[in-house]
Structure 1
Amino acid sequence: MITDTQIKTKGMHALAQYLGDVEAERFVALIQREPFDYTKWRQDMDEESSIEKISRAAMALREEKRS
Structure 2
Amino acid sequence: MLTDTELKLKGIKVLLKELGKVETERFIALIKKEVFDYTEWQRSLWEDKDVEELSREAMEFRRRQKI
TM-score, normalised relative to structure 1: 0.53
Which ranges of structure 1 fall in alignment gaps of 5 or more residues? 45-67
Larger radius of gyration: 2
Matched residues in 2 for 1:19 and 1:38: separation? 22
In structure 2, the residue matched to 1:9 is 9
Which ranges of structure 2 fall in alignment gaps of 5 or more residues? 47-67
State, as a whole percentage, how many aligned pairs show the same letter: 52
Matched residues in 2 for 1:34 and 1:4: separation? 21
In structure 2, the residue matched to 1:55 is none
Matched residues in 2 for 1:16 and 1:27: separation? 10
Which structure is higher in RCO with an 8 Å CA cutoff and minimum separation 6? 1
In structure 1, the residue matched to 2:35 is 35
TM-score, normalised relative to structure 2: 0.53
In structure 1, the residue matched to 2:53 is none
Letter of the 2:32 partner, please give it. Answer: Q
In structure 1, the residue matched to 2:20 is 20
Letter of the 1:11 partner, please give it. Answer: G
